[in-house]
Structure 1
Amino acid sequence: MPVRAVVWGENVHEQTNAAVRDLYPLGMHGTIAAALNQDKGVEATTATLQEPEHGLSETRLAATDVLLWWGHAAHGEVKDEIVERVQKRVWEGMGLIVLHSGHYSKIFKRLMGTPCSLKWREAGERERVWAINRGHPIAQGIGECLEIGETEMYGEPFAVPEPLETVFVSWYQGGEVFRSGLTYQRGAGKIFYFSPGHETYPIYHNEGVQQVLRNAVHWAHNPAPAWSGITNAPNVSTDKAKEKIVQKGLRLHADGDRGLS
């Protein structure tokens, strides 16, 4: 079966800014999904902020292998119950790819547990995305670097946890550098953050950027069954122990009690 990907976009700039609408008549989410669907091993659909449940019902998420997330102007409008729903699916094994200004999204900040803040500048400057981990699956087919002619600068310090892997580091024409491709794991779910993708530039039309996203979808896919009981904390009584043991000492709980939350 192909990897089932959902591209989530807040779909605000496309409706309110003519320049963005001209660059992305399908919406950024639609452009990204079309690029993913060039890979016969991926089946990509879209969801947006404006849909009921933001397009991310429990049924939809249960059938999603990898979720891609782009947000910027409306982070605060994403309902907390949907964020919790997505977080649980990541813990269970759904892959998550967070794009560009999604670094400030509720879901990314919750999974990282840090401010996820950074420096930034809109000057249409050149970006060179260096593949510093060229053997990584996400970097395949990219070569030593990607050239992006016009972009928004994201600069260090980037207030995120130390990643499992740093796949890309970007240099900008103004002199700043940024860890632009980072991997994490939370529970059974793999996470990739990729910074290129400012809405007023045609970055998601860049063939190299599209290749990174296709690679990332395959990397983030976990084919194992969902770890549906990951949030459970069962009490294991002495008679259920793998080896015979005798209860000793004081205890707070009786057999079968729920843990303290």
Structure 2
Amino acid sequence: MGRLSIIGVGLIGGSLAKALKKADFVGEVIGFGRSEANLRLALDQGVVDRWTLDLNEAVAGADVIMLATPVAAADQLLPRISASLRDNTIVTDAGSVKGSVIDAAVSAFGGRISHFVPGHPIAGGENSGVGASCVDLFHRQKVILTPLPSTGTWALECVREMWETTGASVSEMDPDSHDRLLALTSHLPHALAFCLVNMLADQSNADECYELAASGFYDITRIASSDPVMWRDIFLGNQDAVLSRLAEYRESIGNLIRLIESGDADGLLAEFRKSNISRSLIQSRRST
């Protein structure tokens, strides 16, 4: 790959640049974003070769453009990217929601939608910004590509090779299935973490609660430190699937409440054993 333009040089965009540079997969990395301080840091750390606050300049002459911004930004950025798109330029993204980003891409690119490869690396953390980026963030992690019927084979294979170069395992999935699945495995856990932290913070004795919080509280709520803007956009961009999963969780909580209220020891034990066994199976699959 000759030139990679990264729109949003944060945790994901910065980590991608580091991995591709280490592998000598890319000749030049151009960074674009809103924060000059963040872009200067990216240059100082060698994440990008140069940076700009001008989007047209950022994408000019790019072989691949990576959109690594909060998902809601796609509506504003993709039409501007399309206006500067070369005939052989590939555009891809790293958003946690695919449906809304694909809608924005179809609207922006029109007959050139074959250039667009929707994607989502299942990797990250609670910290954000290029300072949190890591060269091996994607190593042995999953990346899901959600190509459209109109996505060009040439574009898809280029993006697949790019991610595989980072050490990621790449698979494909249809966009709707992706959004429903991620609403359960990623978006719902973040919602629960946000609610639990806010519940504690709203207590009249919050300081005492903080002092007595056990390790389990910190394990469960670590992801509540994630970027609020990013997660606002994810919840609104995947609204239907998130609401559906929250409704399922409400039913599960309702069942737990009924078991506790009725003093059903056997029922509680069965629920906890089921969870214990399922968690062990999940962990064993993740370790292989």
TM-score of the superposed pair, with normalisation by structure 1: 0.37
Asked which structure has the greater RCO (Cα within 8 Å, sep 6+), the reply is 1
Q: Where is the strand percentage greater, Structure 1 or Structure 2?
A: 1
Q: Where is the helix percentage greater, Structure 1 or Structure 2?
A: 2
